[in-house]
Amino acid sequence: MTGMEAVSGNFLLITFFMYLLATICFTVSVTGRKWRDKQGEMKGNRWGSFGFIVTLIGFIFALGYFVTRWMTAGHAPVSNMFEYTTFLGIALSLAFIILYAIYKTNVLGMFTMPIVMLIIAFASVFPSEVEPLIPALQSNWLKIHVTTTALGQGILSIGFAAGLIYLIRTLDFTKRDKKVFWLEFIMYSLISIIGFVLVRYIFSMFQYQAEFQYINETGNEAEMTYNLPPLLGPNEGEVLTSGAMEPLISMPAWLRSDDANAVVWSLGAGLILYVLLRVLFRKPVGGKIQPLLKGINPDTVDEVSYRAIAIGFPVFALGGLIFAMIWAQIAWTRFWGWDPKEVWALITFLFYAAYLHLRLSQGWHGERSAWLCVIGFVIIMFNLIFVNLVIAGLHSYA
Amino acid sequence: MNEVKCDCGHSNPYGTNLCQYCGKPLQDKDNKASLLDMRYEGAARRSQTYNKSIVDKIWNFFSSVKVGIWIIVLTLIASSIGTIFPQEMYIPNNVDPAEHYKDEYGIAGQMYYTLGFHNLYGSWWYMALIASLGISLIIASIDRVVPLYRALKNQRVTRNDAFLKRQRLFGRSKVEQADKTLIKAKSLLEKRKFKVREENGNLLAEKGRFSRWGPYVNHLGLIIFLSGAMLRFFPGMYVDDIVWVREGETEVIPGTDGEFFIENEQFFIELYDEDDETFGPAMERAGGQTIQNYQTNAVLYEREKTDTVGAVPELEEVKKDEIRVNHPLRFNNFALYQMDYKLNELNTMSFTLDNRETGESIGTIEIDLFDPQDEYDLGDGYKVVIDSYFPNFEFNDDGEPSTVSSIPDNPAFIFQMFSPEHPDGEYSFVGIQRNEDVFGENDYEMSFADVDTKNVTALTVRKDLTLPFIITGGVIFMIGLIQGSYWSHRRIWLKRTDREIWMAGHANKHWESLKKDFRTLAEETELIIPEDQSKKAKKER
């Protein structure tokens, strides 16, 4: 690792802790005591402003990470899973800064900053060495297309954060109905990402590895390294590492079994964490958060979520479709080729197009709009995680 | 149909909800409602007015936003199904698709294939979905944009009381000095970039009307884009071909009617340095070398215009270029892309004719594997004749020597060796790693001497005359999207009555910004902040 690369990594670490600090500030600003101003009126408190300043400082360090890594690699650091996912987290924090500047809603920071941290932590489980660029990626369009798309996705994700706030604020958690179930499911999914990061770190601390020999999708023998104990083994896999456990079931050849295995681990770890929280709180996780949001006006949050999508949608369309098509025409000879990643960008676009029509023309505001924002975020995450790692196509980076 | 005459004297088209001049509600439902339906300014839309003929019914179907949303959602679902398993174009092309899907993905794969999902995006029903999306875009836009344009163009400053009262933001301010207040309000609104019109002492302040056209502009862009994509099916609009060129050779470029030729001067691959300080660790983890560059040094030629037909074409050099991934060679409407390659393809092989007993070498022959001569005369009665040539040798099902293809991947020969001792020739079978005498023991043999290889490049030949349409459509779409998303249309009406000033406001979105405008007015003038009647209206319902 070169000196500059180490500096870059440290900047990212500082960003992470700044965002943690910002989360704390925003949480205190929402839940803490209100301050009185000179006239003795309740005017909220200053914690929100502190949170915003800390966020800005964190963002400056994130830029520092980005620039130093760019200088090390000689290309924009958005070329593999670690770099792209990290950049998505940074883009989300930038999107938050923009939306906060318009609406000054502290609760948005309380929800967005943890999501940013989660994404950056998730990114850190991927190999973070600086990789050389393969010929297909050697283009100025790499930085233009990828950064615009990530920024678009980041802004759209703010819509999710606001939608989530709306749902937690307005749902009736005393009932055990479908809505509460699905909201808890979202909370569980977010907790599963924490579970994933934790499990990966624990096993990497013990330097766990299990080598497998298996038959790959082309029918040839290949080797694969697991970083987590193999619950799911590869196709006709044979454990090469002594002492490693035998897989419980083996996967078909076309599935990336190590990724599928990681999914199972994170869902399991997430379940344990979630159950612990439920036992601790004795009520739904959302229901535990709800009282903290009493002071939030649902209509404002609703408008923030819509505004985020109205701002993010053109940015995403420009980066994820138009710039993407220009580059595809240059690198792959055709502007559109139904590669899974392309199709999922189109699906994201169509979904938010449907959202906008439903909202503007069919009057889907409030709760229904919030649920749609949640689904939109699921699509974005699906495109990031599954389409890159499981449905391998031209866009597979990792 | 009859026109509808409003009290204000304006004749509105049949089906109008709100008078285009003064805004007075013309239909019962609006008179009873506590808030007016301001969509499309209450103008008469064809789809809401007529529903008799079959044309009306089709028009009404496609003009509905609900139908449009359904088409979007169905397209979305269909598209996602196409990514469950790879599409046919991404599976290896030397396998039978039916077998491939069954073997790779089991029963699910078999069903996928049977339902035609392996070629989903080219299926008739997916095309039909996209086509109906296009029709919906056209009809829904025309149905709305024309009446909306008329309504916004005809609107008067002075509005009917019933119109103002039923706006979402409405308030009455008792003011002492109406004139002064209105002058102040006007200058405040102008400072906030509103366009203010005055009529009979009343005000209409308007801002961002052009954003109302955003949706129609972006729909227009999409329509142009989709039409452009459709043009591909016309002959001559689209070329998708591939040309393989060996180093040092010149090939005609398919699709150019023999007009253009491409020469491959050199093809090579460059690798990243494994000991690189920055990239070394990543490459070590990946466990292999990473390719830095694929490159063809190419020369483009054009055939000179001559009248002689059939003669060897006279070629004129047009340009030299380095074709790399992300850097195609462009000419006219064509582009040549680095697509594939083959390294070290056998090109020539040389053999010596040796006397086995003495070990003496009689002479050397060099065989062009793409164009072998029938015989090679070595003088003094020595001669080698190629009896059979198998460029890509294998034993066929009958155990006979044969060739898989004409590409010399595994060349083999049956030589007939003539010498003064054997004027009838001895037969020898020579291939890679094999050298056998065919009939009995030979006195002479062919020994492998040397081989010469060449790299081959594969270039995709692409012409796409639909691109100008695609680009125009894309640009217009983007302009429309930004126009409609980043601006909003806001109007503020101030109407003077006896002792009061009535004010009402409408925004097509971002109501918070409009409320902010009213707050500024209230801070600086006698005007109050109008009430948001939407909650009250919701409760009443």
B201 has pLDDT over 80: yes
B438: contact with A, CB 8 A cutoff = no
Question: A315 vs B407, which has greater pLDDT?
Answer: A315
B491 within 8 A of B477, measured Cβ to Cβ: no
A162 within 8 A of A301, measured Cβ to Cβ: yes
Of B39, B240, B285, which has the smallest distance from its Cβ to A127's Cβ?
B285
Tell me the two tokens of residue A166.
Answer: 């709306």
Rounded distance, CA B164 to CA B202, Å? 13
B215 has pLDDT over 60: yes
Rounded distance, CA A72 to CA A84, Å? 16
Of B69, B286, B511, which has the smallest distance from its Cβ to A354's Cβ?
B69
What is the arithmetic mean of pLDDT over B77-98? 87
A395 has pLDDT over 60: no
B486 has pLDDT over 50: yes
Spell out the long-range contacts of B14-18 with Cβ–Cβ below 8 A and sequence spacing 24 or more.
B14/B44, B14/B49, B15/B44, B15/B45, B15/B48, B15/B49, B16/B42, B16/B43, B16/B44, B17/B42, B17/B43, B17/B44, B18/B42, B18/B43, B18/B151, B18/B163
At B387, give phi and psi (nearest 5°): -75, -45
B384 has pLDDT over 60: yes
Cβ–Cβ of A2/B293 closer than 8 Å? no
DSSP E strands, B380-498: 382-390, 393-395, 401-403, 412-418, 426-431, 434-437, 444-464, 490-496
Check the CA dihedral A109-A115-A118-A119 and report its sign.
Answer: negative
Cβ–Cβ of B326/A138 closer than 8 Å? yes
User: Sorting pLDDT into bands at 50, 70 and 90, what band is A175?
Assistant: confident
pLDDT tens-digit readout, B31-46: 777 888 888 888 888 8
Q: How many helices (H) and strands (E) does chain B have?
A: 13, 24
User: Sorting pLDDT into bands at 50, 70 and 90, what band is A235?
Assistant: confident
Residue B40 has what pLDDT? 87
Rounded distance, CA B6 to CA B27, Å? 11
Residue A205 has what pLDDT? 86
Rounded distance, CA B510 to CA A58, Å? 30
- Greatest mean pLDDT among A113-117, B46-50, B395-399: A113-117
Which residue of B lies nearest to A310 if distances are taken between CA atoms? B485
Rounded distance, CA B252 to CA A8, Å? 51
Of A354, A387, A391, which has the smallest distance from its Cβ to B72's Cβ?
A354
At B141, give phi and psi (nearest 5°): -70, -45
A211 within 8 A of A227, measured Cβ to Cβ: no
Nearest alpha-carbon partner for A294 in A64, A30, A22: A30
Residue A398 has what pLDDT? 37
A144: contact with B, CB 8 A cutoff = no
Residues with Cβ within 8 Å of B360's Cβ and at least 6 positions away in sequence, in order, are B354
Residue A62 has what pLDDT? 96
- Greatest mean pLDDT among A41-55, A60-74, B45-59: A60-74
Residue A4 has what pLDDT? 81
What is the arithmetic mean of pLDDT over B101-124? 89
B273 has pLDDT over 90: no
For residues A333, A339, A341 and A347, what is the CA-based torsion angle, rounded to 10 degrees?
A: 110
CA B364, distance to chain mean position in Å, is 56
Burial (CB < 10 A; 0-12, 13-18, 19+), residue B258, is exposed
Worst-scoring range by mean pLDDT, B227-236, B242-251, B285-294, B339-348?
B285-294
Tell me the two tokens of residue B315.
Answer: 């070629």
What is the arithmetic mean of pLDDT over B111-122? 91
Rounded distance, CA B119 to CA B39, Å? 42
Mutate to test the interface with B, among A83, A103, A145, A329 (most CBs of B within 10 A): A329
Of B82, B106, B293, which has the smallest distance from its Cβ to A135's Cβ?
B293
Rounded distance, CA A20 to CA A54, Å? 9
For residue B133, give the H/E element and its range.
Answer: helix B124-154
What is the arithmetic mean of pLDDT over B334-363? 90
B530 within 8 A of B518, measured Cβ to Cβ: yes
Q: Give the number of beta-carbon pairs within 8 Å between A and B.
A: 132
What is the arithmetic mean of pLDDT over B26-33? 78
Rounded distance, CA A217 to CA B39, Å? 56
pLDDT tens-digit readout, B397-432: 888 888 888 888 889 999 999 988 888 888 989 888
Tell me the two tokens of residue B22.
Answer: 């003064």
A347 has pLDDT over 50: yes
User: What DSSP designation does B392 have?
Assistant: B
Give A140's strand partners.
none
Cβ–Cβ of A322/B478 closer than 8 Å? yes
Burial (CB < 10 A; 0-12, 13-18, 19+), residue A83, is buried
Residue A115 has what pLDDT? 93
Helix runs in B398-461, H state only = none
Cβ–Cβ of A217/B104 closer than 8 Å? yes
pLDDT tens-digit readout, B261-271: 999 999 999 99
**ipTM score:** 0.88
Tell me the two tokens of residue B222.
Answer: 């999409």
Which residue of A lies nearest to B291 if distances are taken between CA atoms? A134
Mutate to test the interface with B, among A1, A126, A129 (most CBs of B within 10 A): A129
A65 has pLDDT over 90: yes
Nearest alpha-carbon partner for A26 in A112, A147, A145, A139: A112
Amino acid at B96: D
> What's this model's pTM, rounded to 2 decimal places?
0.89
A173 has pLDDT over 70: yes
Strands B426-431 and B382-390: what pairing?
unpaired
d(CA B155, nearest CA chain A) in Å:
23
Q: Average per-residue pLDDT in chain A?
A: 88
Mutate to test the interface with A, among B242, B326, B513 (most CBs of A within 10 A): B326
Helix runs in chain A, H state only = 3-31, 47-73, 81-103, 106-123, 140-170, 178-205, 257-281, 285-289, 298-316, 324-331, 340-362, 366-389
Of B272, B337, B482, which has the smallest distance from its Cβ to A333's Cβ?
B337
Which residues in chain A have their CB less than 8 angstroms from residue B339's CB? Answer: 333
Cβ–Cβ of A330/B277 closer than 8 Å? no
Tell me the two tokens of residue A305.
Answer: 């979520």
Rounded distance, CA B303 to CA B317, Å? 9
Tell me the two tokens of residue B280.
Answer: 């070394």
Tell me which residue has tokens 């499309």: B40
A72: contact with B, CB 8 A cutoff = yes
Strands A249-250 and A232-233: what pairing?
parallel
Which residues in chain B have their CB less than 8 angstroms from residue A127's CB? Answer: 282, 285
pLDDT tens-digit readout, A246-284: 888 888 777 777 888 888 898 999 999 999 999 998 889
Which residue of A lies nearest to B324 if distances are taken between CA atoms? A135
Question: A77 vs B42, which has greater pLDDT?
Answer: A77
Alpha carbon of A219 to those of A252, A253, A378, B98: distances in Å? 11, 8, 34, 18
Burial (CB < 10 A; 0-12, 13-18, 19+), residue B116, is middle
Q: Please compute Rg for chain B using Cα positions.
A: 40
Worst-scoring range by mean pLDDT, A301-315, A323-337, B1-15, B225-239?
B1-15
DSSP-derived 3-state class of residue B23: coil
A340: contact with B, CB 8 A cutoff = yes
Rounded distance, CA B236 to CA B256, Å? 10
Rounded distance, CA A185 to CA B236, Å? 54
Nearest alpha-carbon partner for B457 in B359, B328, B360: B328
A3: contact with B, CB 8 A cutoff = no
Give A249's strand partners.
A232
Mutate to test the interface with B, among A323, A338, A372, A387 (most CBs of B within 10 A): A338
d(CA A49, nearest CA chain B) in Å:
22
d(CA A303, nearest CA chain B) in Å:
8
What is the arithmetic mean of pLDDT over A139-162? 94
Tell me the two tokens of residue B520.
Answer: 């500024």
B297: contact with A, CB 8 A cutoff = no
Cβ–Cβ of A318/B292 closer than 8 Å? no
DSSP A204-262: HHTT--EEEEEE-TTS-EEEEEESS--SEEPTT-EE-STTPPPPSEE--TTS-HHHHHH
Nearest alpha-carbon partner for B480 in B263, B114, B308, B224: B224
User: Sorting pLDDT into bands at 50, 70 and 90, what band is A215?
Assistant: confident
CA B79, distance to chain mean position in Å, is 15
At B520, give phi and psi (nearest 5°): -60, -40
Of B69, B72, B285, which has the smallest distance from its Cβ to A129's Cβ?
B285
User: Sorting pLDDT into bands at 50, 70 and 90, what band is A57?
Assistant: very high
Tell me the two tokens of residue B153.
Answer: 């163009």
Tell me which residue has tokens 């007993």: B357
Residues with Cβ within 8 Å of B212's Cβ and at least 6 positions away in sequence, in order, are B148, B152, B484, B489, B508
HEC string of B258-275? CCEEEEEEEEEEEECCCC
Q: Average per-residue pLDDT in chain B?
A: 89
Residues 39-68 of B with CB under 8 A from A: 39, 65-66, 68
